[in-house]
Amino acid sequence: MKMPKRDISELDANFVSESLAGFNLDFFEIPQAPFVVNGFAWYEQEKVFCRVPQKFLPSLNDKQQELAWHTSGGRIRFRTNSPVIAIDLTLGGEMYRPLISPVGHSGVDMYFGIGNDAVFAGIAKPVQDSLNYRAILAKEMPDQIRDCTIDLPLYNGVTKVRIGLSPGFVIEPSGEFARKRPLVFYGSSITQGGCASRAGNSYTNIVARELNMEIYNFGFSGNAFGEPHIAELLGGIDAEVFILDYDHNASTPAYLNTTHERFYQILRERRPGMPIVIVGRPDFYADKPDNIERQKIIRRTYDNAVAAGDKKVWCIDGSTLFDEEDRDDCTCDRVHPNDLGFYRMAKVIKPVVARAMEMSI
């Protein structure tokens, strides 16, 4: 059955009609209803694609300030039966970085559907030597309404986004998430998504997509040092589950030992009822003695928490994340996961997060 078309004036939306790749499209600048921006904890107050509040930026080092503008975990969601969907996006900075594909670094991808029914629909890739790109994400789509989710870049900032749709078709808010509160991840470049080939393939986005949850990604590539003021900030977020995954950015086991349990303790003090999942590094085979010591430290945080009566804490041994079969094929450089590595990580972490959600209050 064909979905009814709707006069765009009913939406009280602002748009500009333009042509792209031979299609006449209405381009809607984000933010505006019914498009919904997710993945930025302070977006409603500040209306910028930044992962920390503006007043907090001066407390970060220079690299952390840059990374705070990267949009890993950011998503734009809506429902439509438009036969063509396009994007016009302006990036905040550099477009390429060693090891990461241009699409994973600065491109976007799109999914149709929600939860386990979500299917990959297309990508838009950056243009060399330009901070702006426009591309068709999907075309010749059947006339049926579908939930659409656009994943924003993992390793770049975004200063402007417009969504292009065929004139006169239905636009509605996307379906609800499974829970109102988000999943919150804190960690290293692996948490941020390095080196997924596209945004939807990072383990954090896989977990969030399959569980139909909003995600706040606080992966700070090379700069997740477990500082107390970061723990205080993130502990202020009312999260469904908090996933703590910053082992790789602790320069030594001694540093990890100094910071790891304290980070957990600050979170627990701020959020007594919040489930916390502690995760070790996945590339366990590299520098094995060092990794064994790190895993002991992470496990000690967990054991001490349990001994103190915490019934809402879980620990995932990093050595289990890649599985044993072909584990050498799970990274691009013996550290950063590729798509296979992220897929395997998600398949281990997702069920633990799901169990933690069952105990969330």
pLDDT tier, 361 (very low <50, low <70, confident <90, very high otherwise): low
Helix (H, G, I), strand (E, B) or coil at 29: strand
**Count of all residues that appear for the chain in the document:** 361
Nearest residue to 39 via CA among 129, 152, 136: 152
Q: Is the pLDDT assigned to residue 5 strictly greater than 50?
A: no
Q: Is the pLDDT assigned to residue 1 strictly greater than 50?
A: no
Of 12-16, 17-21, 79-83, 110-114, the least confident = 12-16
Q: Is the pLDDT assigned to residue 6 strictly greater than 90?
A: no
Distance from C-alpha of 297 to C-alpha of 78, rounded to nearest angstrom: 43
Residue located via tokens 């798509």: 339
Strand order in the sheet with 23-30: 15-20, 23-30, 158-165, 85-91, 132-138
Q: What is the largest CA-CA distance in the chain?
A: 65
As beta bridge partners, residue 111 has: 120, 149
As beta bridge partners, residue 88 has: 134, 162
Distance from C-alpha of 260 to C-alpha of 257, rounded to nearest angstrom: 6
Q: pLDDT for 69-113, tens place per residue?
A: 999 999 999 999 999 999 999 999 876 677 889 999 999 999 999
Q: Is the pLDDT assigned to residue 7 strictly greater than 90?
A: no
Q: pLDDT for 191-219, tens place per residue?
A: 999 999 999 999 999 999 999 999 999 99
Q: pLDDT for 268-299, tens place per residue?
A: 999 999 999 999 999 877 667 888 999 999 99
pLDDT tier, 334 (very low <50, low <70, confident <90, very high otherwise): confident
pLDDT tier, 324 (very low <50, low <70, confident <90, very high otherwise): confident
**% pLDDT > 90, the chain:** 87
Q: Which of 249-258's residues contact partners 24+ apart within 8 Å by CB, and which partners?
A: 249/187, 249/188, 249/189, 249/220, 249/222, 249/223, 249/224, 249/225, 250/225, 250/226, 250/294, 253/290, 253/293, 253/294, 253/297, 255/225, 256/226, 256/294, 256/297, 256/298, 257/297
In single-letter form, the type of residue at position 241 comes to V
Q: Is the pLDDT assigned to residue 3 strictly greater than 80?
A: no
CB contact set of 58 (below 8 Å; sequence gap of 6+):
none
The stretch 340-347 carries a mean pLDDT of 98
Domains of the chain and CATH, by start: 8-172 (2.60.120.260), 183-358 (3.40.50.1110)
Nearest residue to 243 via CA among 277, 210, 212, 211: 277
pLDDT of residue 28: 98
Q: What is the pTM of this model?
A: 0.95
Of 47-56, 327-336, 348-357, the least confident = 327-336
pLDDT of residue 2: 39
